[in-house]
């Protein structure tokens, strides 16, 4: 059985405190480290953890500026967030892991693979992209300023239709509401900083350097990071496996956690060969 743990925290090198949770499986089990989507926290992965069972030791963190992790004084960049994950792994004595994430978390996972290749055994990129396109800096700045002017609650109606399919919203109102509650509880400055991170994010040069088993998942109806963005990563990462999940939208780890968990278990099997 997987051993559950409470939420812990660590002060990283720039003095910021980061929250994390470690679900420990058997010593010989692979380690998966996952980073959540923008506006979420470590609980984003709870349904996937249930699906994984004892197949892997699972590390989930509250990304800088999210959940119970501090924002700190260091500018938020993908590199800083990737280094945050590396420092948590160091603290736990984990030399290498399968690293993954959804949306913003996928950007961080891709950055981690580029910056810490010797520590990345496998890569799981879910509903994410290596680059949001030429208008991204303005698009994400506009989103940050809109949040500042109107508050996060004003964005809920727009966000939830992007997060989840129509049928999921109708059939799982409690999950939808819990996701909304997490989103509106965000630290505004942390949210704005993360928006600006994504506006400037461009890890396209990393793609051709990835030489590890890589899983790419995307919802068929994902309007935030459309299938074409995943296709571009798939073409850039040699030997990657791409899966389009029919009927799903942006937050597939919440909408179809069993599919995500099964895909992660399959990725583990490829890493352990």
Per-residue burial over 48-65, b if 16 or more Cβ lie within 10 Å, else e, is bbebbeebbbbbbbbbbb
Q: Is the CB of residue 60 less than 8 Å from the CB of residue 34? A: yes
Of 74, 37, 35, which Cα lies nearest the Cα of 191?
Answer: 37
Inside any domain, residue 140: no
pLDDT of 273 over the 90 cut: no
Inside any domain, residue 223: yes
Inside any domain, residue 180: no
Task: Please count the structural domains in the chain.
Answer: 1
How far is CA 191 from its chain centroid?
15
The kind and range of the H/E element at 159 are: helix 156-163
**Domain region containing 230:** 8-131+201-271
Convert the pLDDT of each residue in 58-100 to its tens digit: 999 999 999 999 999 999 999 999 999 999 999 999 999 999 9
Inside any domain, residue 103: yes
Which pLDDT score is estimated for 6? 87
User: Any idea what DSSP says for residue 117?
Assistant: G
Convert the pLDDT of each residue in 160-208 to its tens digit: 999 999 999 999 999 999 999 999 999 999 999 999 999 999 999 999 9
Inside any domain, residue 262: yes
CATH number at 42 reads 3.40.50.1820
Inside any domain, residue 206: yes
The CA–CA distances, whole Å, from 108 to 41, 59, 81, 104, 190 equal 14, 15, 6, 6, 15
Question: Under 8 Å CB-to-CB from 196, ≥6 apart: which residues?
Answer: 76, 140, 141, 144
Q: pLDDT-derived band of residue 56, with 50, 70 and 90 as boundaries?
A: very high
Q: What percent of the chain has pLDDT over 90?
A: 97
Burial of 172 (0-12, 13-18, 19+ CB in 10 A): middle
d(CA 27, CA 196): 39
Question: Under 8 Å CB-to-CB from 92, ≥6 apart: which residues?
Answer: 22, 59
Q: pLDDT-derived band of residue 3, with 50, 70 and 90 as boundaries?
A: low
Inside any domain, residue 86: yes
Inside any domain, residue 170: no
């Amino acid at each position: 059985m997987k051993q559950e743990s409470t939420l812990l925290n660590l002060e990283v090198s720039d003095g910021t405190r980061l929250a994390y949770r470690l679900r420990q499986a058997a010593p010989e089990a692979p380690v998966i480290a996952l980073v959540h989507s923008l506006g979420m926290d470590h609980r984003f992965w709870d349904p996937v953890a249930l699906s994984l069972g004892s197949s892997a030791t699972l590390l989930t963190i509250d990304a800088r500026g999210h959940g119970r992790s501090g924002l700190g004084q260091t500018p938020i960049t993908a590199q800083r967030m990737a280094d945050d994950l590396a420092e948590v792994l160091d603290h736990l004595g984990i030399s290498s892991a399968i690293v993954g994430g959804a949306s913003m978390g996928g950007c961080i996972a891709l950055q981690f693979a580029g910056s810490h290749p010797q520590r990345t055994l496998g890569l799981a990129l879910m509903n994410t992209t290596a680059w949001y396109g030429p208008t991204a800096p303005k698009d994400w700045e506009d989103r940050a300023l809109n949040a500042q002017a109107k508050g996060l609650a004003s964005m809920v109606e727009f966000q939830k239709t992007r997060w989840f399919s129509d049928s999921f919203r109708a059939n799982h109102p409690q999950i939808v509401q819990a996701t909304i509650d997490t989103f509106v509880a965000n630290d505004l400055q942390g949210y704005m900083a993360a928006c600006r991170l994504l506006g400037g994010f461009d890890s396209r040069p990393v793609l051709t350097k990835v030489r590890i088993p890589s899983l790419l998942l995307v919802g068929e109806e994902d309007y935030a990071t459309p299938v074409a963005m995943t296709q571009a990563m798939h073409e850039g990462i040699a030997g990657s496996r791409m899966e389009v999940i029919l009927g799903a939208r942006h937050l597939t780890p919440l909408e179809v956690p069993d599919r995500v968990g099964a895909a992660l278990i399959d990725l583990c099997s490829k890493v352990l060969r």
